[in-house]
Structure 1
Amino acid sequence: MTALDPALVTDWFAVHARDLPWRRPGFSAWGTLVSEFMLQQTQVARVVPILEEWLRRWPTPADLAAAPPAEVLRAWGRLGYPRRALALHACATAIADRHGNVVPEDVDELLALPGIGDYTARAIAVFAHGHRHPVVDTNVRRVIARAVQGVAQPEAPAARRDLPAMAALLPDDLVEQRAFNAGMMEIGAVVCTSRSPRCDECPLAAVCAWRLAGSPAHDGPPPRRQARFEGSDRQLRGRVMAELRASDVPVAEAELAAVLPDPGVRSRILVGLERDGLATRAEGGWTLPA
Structure 2
Amino acid sequence: MSAVGAAVRAIRAHDGSRCGELPPWCWDGGVNALLDPILRWYDAHARDLPWRRPEASAWSVMVSEFMLQQTPVARVLPVHAAWLERWPSPADLAAETTGEAVRLWGRLGYPRRALRLHAAATAIVADHDGEVPSSYDALRELPGVGDYTASAIAAFAFGQALPVLDTNVRRVHQRVLRGTEFPSDSVRAHERRDAEQLLPDDPATAASWSVAVMELGALVCTARTPACEECPIAGQCSWRAAGYPAYDGPPRRGQAWDGTDRQCRGRIMAVLRGSDEPVHATRIEAVWPDAEQRERCLASLTHDRLVVQVSPTTWALP
User: Scaled by the length of structure 1, what TM-score is found?
Assistant: 0.96
Is 2:205 the counterpart of 1:176?
yes
Which runs of structure 2 are paired with 1:18-167 in the superposition (5 Å)?
18-158=47-187, 160-167=189-196
Aligned-partner Cα distance in 2 for 1:235–1:74: 17
RMSD of the alignment, in Å? Answer: 1.2
Aligned-partner Cα distance in 2 for 1:249–1:55: 25
Report which of the two has the higher share of helix: 2
Residue 195 of structure 2 aligns with an amino acid whose one-letter code is: M
Match of 2:280 among 252, 277, 280: 252
CA deviation after TM superposition for structure 1 residue 221, in Å: 2.2
Which runs of structure 2 are paired with 1:132-281 in the superposition (5 Å)?
132-158=161-187, 160-222=189-251, 224-281=252-309
Task: State the identity as a percent.
Answer: 52
Residue 46 of structure 1 aligns with an amino acid whose one-letter code is: R
Residue 268 of structure 1 aligns with an amino acid whose one-letter code is: R
Q: Contact between 1:135 and 1:163, CA under 8 Å: does it hold in 2?
A: no
Aligned-partner Cα distance in 1 for 2:65–2:240: 32
CA deviation after TM superposition for structure 1 residue 282, in Å: 0.8
CA deviation after TM superposition for structure 1 residue 226, in Å: 3.0
Specify the alignment match of 1:16 in structure 2: 45
CA deviation after TM superposition for structure 1 residue 53, in Å: 1.1
CA deviation after TM superposition for structure 1 residue 220, in Å: 2.3
Q: Contact between 2:102 and 2:111, CA under 8 Å: does it hold in 1?
A: yes
Aligned-partner Cα distance in 2 for 1:69–1:218: 42
Aligned-partner Cα distance in 1 for 2:188–2:149: 13
SS in 2 for 1:128: helix
Aligned-partner Cα distance in 2 for 1:212–1:265: 50
CA deviation after TM superposition for structure 1 residue 159, in Å: 5.1
SS in 1 for 2:233: coil
- If asked which structure has higher relative contact order (CA below 8 Å, sep 6+), I would say 1
Specify the alignment match of 2:3 in structure 1: none
Deviating beyond 3 angstroms after TM superposition, the runs of 4 or more aligned structure 1 residues are none
Unaligned runs of 5+ in 2: 1-21
- Aligned residues, how many? 288
Unaligned runs of 5+ in 1: none
Q: Contact between 1:10 and 1:176, CA under 8 Å: does it hold in 2?
A: no
SS in 2 for 1:257: helix
CA deviation after TM superposition for structure 1 residue 94, in Å: 0.2
Aligned-partner Cα distance in 1 for 2:187–2:236: 25
Aligned-partner Cα distance in 2 for 1:154–1:263: 40
Q: Contact between 2:38 and 2:213, CA under 8 Å: does it hold in 1?
A: yes
Aligned-partner Cα distance in 2 for 1:23–1:149: 29
Mean CA deviation greater in 104-113 or 258-267: 258-267
Residue 102 of structure 1 aligns with an amino acid whose one-letter code is: E
Mean CA deviation greater in 67-76 or 121-130: 67-76
Q: Contact between 2:160 and 2:204, CA under 8 Å: does it hold in 1?
A: no
Q: Deviations over 1:95-119 (max 9, x none)?
A: 0100011111111111110001011
